[in-house]
């Protein structure tokens, strides 16, 4: 008989065999006992956590000859066929290879038939998130109202890719990652039942590397058992999984804590020489730092599922760092994990990260370095002395620059404070300083040269446009003032880039430094429009009160419609005659233009006169051939 892999041989056969998913098994068993079996289920969770196994157990429980029962017998014809995968009532569909709408249409056509042997037809669609959008739409109605004898079980590892319309029609069960302790206990049971000798440390290491998946753990145990000569050891598991090793992790932590960059780089070199993956080194270092951090914060009771390090070793590692040092180090190593996904030189990325952890001050982690005590020793003291010397030099340069600025004309004065410090006094209002400014011919000439200097330069074209809208306002005491009636131009020219360019150009033109300021100028109001020409009053006055009631009502209605401007009858007749004459003149002139245009066209089209045309004689004209035509005259 062919060898059967451990993960197939030890696949759960009943709800009681499910490991780490009690919340799912108990709920489904209770539903079967009470007769509340749904028509559609959705199982989601990481790989190797028991989704497909639970679907097969549910199918057996529904079609068992002793059921429906939460404990299928496993020996009846229906249970054996489900275990062997030959049942005609349980259909396993791989959505990754049957993802189109045609497969779903075929399913809808066959779903109407009754079960062959059991009570229910169970459709298990694995990796359902791989179906196309059209296939999901075709499945909606059938999934919502299937026949009474049909149960759908959908399984997926990426629940976010399943449409909400599908999820709302199913009972959803989330499968969680199995704890490392639970996986290790299950591996010990399988190893004992399968006559596999294995160390507890090796099984614990396999459980940690499985990342919550029991199927992966059983596959790794099967591989180790095939390679081991007699006993599955921890070193054998490390070699198979490609783990870096305990000694390299411990050496890295001590080198980082001591700030020993050469020792840290030697660890990277050794890992590369042994053919190990640098990503695995980074992952294991993150896990070890996390374990030390949790041990330091909560003791041995928490955080032991991700490491096999002893309590004594964790205590030593936790004592190397302060509580505030762990988060920056773990964050930096996580950044390296992101870089390793795309970089072509992983060794450089890891070495750079190790150097930044050994030199936290240079890496910008001053607070963490100070708390951890890693800043110490002759090298660190020399580095701090050098930094203090640089700070002193920069302070002296800033003081000299401040003194130079204060000596410039128009610079604000400084007033002393307690302790010998000084602070710049508030500048005088602009109105007070502008009283000392004078508009002189030299200033006008400098203003003209300033505007002309920017005129031909393409780089300063916007500056010249803004500057042209101003007016020279005066100069004096190292201040050059320009008046602007537009607040926008003032705001724009007061910006540092334009102001500095203008001051530099003023210094070039005059040979001395000037402080450029702006002020509000007088706004030039537009000239008022001319008054409209007064019309000559040609109207007449009408006494409304002297009219009879009937005439007054008619006149009031006319006034309401046409206005109260009364014109004498003679004047109205004259105006009407003038309007008619103007209209006739316009009409006659238009007709004359059209006649002239037609004559010109005729003259161009006809080049001979009528006398020059030879008309055929009447005798040459043939008579009509019909009988009703008149006879010719004699």
What's the angle, vertex CA 507, arms to CA 504 and CA 513, rounded to 5? 100
Q: Per-residue pLDDT for 595 more than 80?
A: no
Question: What average pLDDT does this structure show over 429-444?
Answer: 66
Q: In the β-sheet with 470-476, what is the strand arrangement from edge to edge?
A: 470-476, 479-484, 515-520
Structure tokens belonging to residue 271: 């890992």
Task: Report the predicted TM-score, pTM, of the whole model to 2 decimal places.
Answer: 0.54
Q: Per-residue pLDDT for 549 more than 70?
A: yes
Q: Per-residue pLDDT for 498 more than 70?
A: yes
**How confident is the model over 355-407, as pLDDT tens digits?**
989 886 544 444 444 444 444 445 566 667 777 777 877 776 676 666 555 55
Residue 3 DSSP label: -
What is the pLDDT at residue 360? 67
Residue 94 phi, psi dihedral angles, 5° rounding: -90, 110
- Per cent of the chain over pLDDT 70 is 74
Question: What average pLDDT does this structure show over 165-176?
Answer: 92
**How confident is the model over 515-545, as pLDDT tens digits?**
888 888 766 555 566 666 555 555 566 666 6
pLDDT band at 416 (very low <50, low <70, confident <90, very high): very low
What is the pLDDT at residue 238? 86
Q: Per-residue pLDDT for 175 more than 90?
A: yes
Q: Are strands 150-156 and 422-424 parallel, antiparallel or unpaired?
A: unpaired
What is the pLDDT at residue 621? 47
Question: Angle, to 10 degrees, between the axis of helix 234-241 and the axis of helix 214-227?
Answer: 110
Would you tell me how many other CB atoms lie within 10 Å of the CB of residue 610? 7
- Give the separation between CA 85 and CA 79, rounded to whole angstroms: 10
- Which residues have CB under 8 Å from 176's CB, separation 6+? 20, 21, 45, 49, 212
**How confident is the model over 282-300, as pLDDT tens digits?**
998 998 888 888 888 887 6
Q: Per-residue pLDDT for 156 more than 90?
A: yes
What is the pLDDT at residue 442? 85
Structure tokens belonging to residue 465: 């446009």
Token pair 């600025």: residue = 405
Kindly tell me the sign of the dihedral angle through the C-alpha atoms of 381, 386, 387, 389.
positive
Residue 384 phi, psi dihedral angles, 5° rounding: -65, -40
pLDDT band at 606 (very low <50, low <70, confident <90, very high): very low
Cα 258–chain centre separation: 41
CB under 8 A, 24+ apart: contacts of 337-345:
337/279, 337/282, 337/283, 337/286, 340/278, 340/279, 340/282
Question: What average pLDDT does this structure show over 133-157?
Answer: 90
Q: Per-residue pLDDT for 30 more than 60?
A: yes
What is the pLDDT at residue 124? 93
What is the pLDDT at residue 614? 47
Residue 514 phi, psi dihedral angles, 5° rounding: -130, 145
Please, are residues 317 and 310 in contact by the beta-carbon 8 Å criterion?
Answer: no
- Ranked by mean pLDDT, the top range of 333-337, 504-508, 513-517, 565-569 is 333-337
- Give the separation between CA 21 and CA 101, rounded to whole angstroms: 33
**How confident is the model over 82-134, as pLDDT tens digits?**
888 888 889 999 888 888 888 888 888 888 888 888 889 999 999 999 999 99
Question: What average pLDDT does this structure show over 433-445?
Answer: 75
Pick the range with the lowest mean pLDDT from 193-207, 210-224, 443-457.
443-457
For the chain, what is the mean pLDDT? 78
């Amino acid at each position: 008989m062919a060898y059967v892999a451990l993960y197939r041989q030890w696949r759960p056969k009943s709800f009681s065999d499910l490991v780490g998913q009690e919340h799912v098994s108990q709920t489904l068993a209770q539903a079967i006992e009470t007769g509340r079996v749904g028509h559609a289920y959705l199982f989601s969770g990481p790989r190797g956590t028991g989704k497909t196994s639970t679907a097969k157990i549910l199918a057996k429980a529904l079609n068992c000859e002793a059921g429906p029962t939460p404990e299928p017998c496993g020996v009846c014809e229906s249970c054996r066929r489900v275990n062997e995968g030959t049942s005609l009532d349980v259909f396993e569909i791989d959505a990754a290879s049957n993802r189109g709408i045609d497969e779903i249409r075929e399913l809808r056509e066959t779903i109407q038939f009754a079960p062959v042997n059991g009570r229910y037809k169970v459709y298990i669609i694995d990796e359902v998130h791989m179906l196309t959008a059209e296939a999901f739409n075709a499945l909606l109605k059938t999934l919502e109202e299937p026949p009474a004898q049909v149960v759908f079980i959908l399984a997926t590892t990426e629940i976010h890719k399943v449409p909400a319309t599908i999820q709302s029609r199913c009972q959803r069960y989330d499968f969680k990652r199995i704890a490392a302790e639970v996986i290790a206990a299950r591996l010990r049971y399988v190893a004992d039942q399968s006559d596999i000798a294995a160390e507890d440390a090796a099984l614990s290491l396999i459980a940690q590397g499985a990342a919550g998946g029991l199927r992966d753990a059983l596959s790794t145990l099967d591989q180790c058992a095939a390679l081991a000569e007699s006993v599955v050891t921890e070193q054998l598991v490390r070699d198979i999984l490609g783990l870096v090793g305990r000694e390299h992790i411990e050496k890295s932590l001590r080198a980082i804590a001591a700030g020993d960059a050469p020792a840290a780089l030697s660890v990277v070199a050794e890992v590369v020489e042994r053919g190990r993956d640098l990503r695995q080194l980074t992952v294991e270092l993150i896990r070890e730092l996390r374990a030390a951090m949790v041990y330091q914060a909560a003791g041995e009771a928490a955080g032991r599922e991700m490491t096999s390090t002893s309590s004594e070793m964790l205590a030593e590692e936790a004592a190397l760092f302060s509580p505030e040092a762990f988060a920056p180090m773990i964050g930096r190593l996580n950044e390296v994990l992101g870089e390793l996904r795309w970089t072509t030189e992983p060794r450089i990325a890891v070495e750079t990260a190790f150097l930044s952890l050994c030199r936290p001050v240079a890496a910008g982690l001053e607070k963490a370095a100070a708390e951890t005590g890693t800043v110490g020793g002759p090298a660190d003291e020399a580095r701090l002395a050098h930094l203090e010397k640089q700070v002193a030099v920069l302070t002296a340069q800033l003081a000299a620059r401040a003194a130079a600025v204060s000596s410039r004309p128009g610079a604000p004065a400084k007033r002393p404070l307690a302790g010998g410090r000084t602070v710049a006094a508030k500048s005088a209002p602009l109105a007070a300083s502008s009283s000392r400014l004078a508009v002189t011919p030299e200033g006008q000439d400098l203003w003209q040269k300033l505007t002309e200097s920017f005129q031909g330069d393409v780089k300063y074209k916007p500056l010249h446009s803004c500057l042209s809208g101003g007016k020279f306002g005066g100069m004096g005491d190292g201040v050059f003032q320009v008046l602007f009636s537009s607040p926008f131009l003032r705001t724009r020219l007061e910006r540092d880039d334009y102001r500095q360019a203008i001051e530099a150009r003023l210094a070039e033109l005059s040979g001395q430094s000037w402080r450029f300021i702006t002020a509000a100028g007088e706004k030039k109001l537009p000239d008022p429009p001319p008054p409209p020409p007064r019309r000559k009053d040609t109207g007449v006055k009408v006494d409304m009160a002297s009219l009879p009631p009937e005439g007054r009502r008619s006149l009031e209605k006319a006034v309401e419609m046409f206005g109260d401007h009364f014109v004498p009858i003679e004047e109205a007749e004259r105006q009407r005659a003038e309007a008619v004459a103007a209209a006739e003149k316009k009409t006659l002139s238009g007709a004359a233009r059209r006649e002239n245009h037609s004559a010109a066209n005729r003259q161009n089209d006809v080049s001979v006169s009528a006398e020059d045309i030879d008309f055929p004689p009447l005798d040459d004209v043939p008579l009509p051939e019909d009988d009703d035509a008149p006879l010719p005259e004699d």
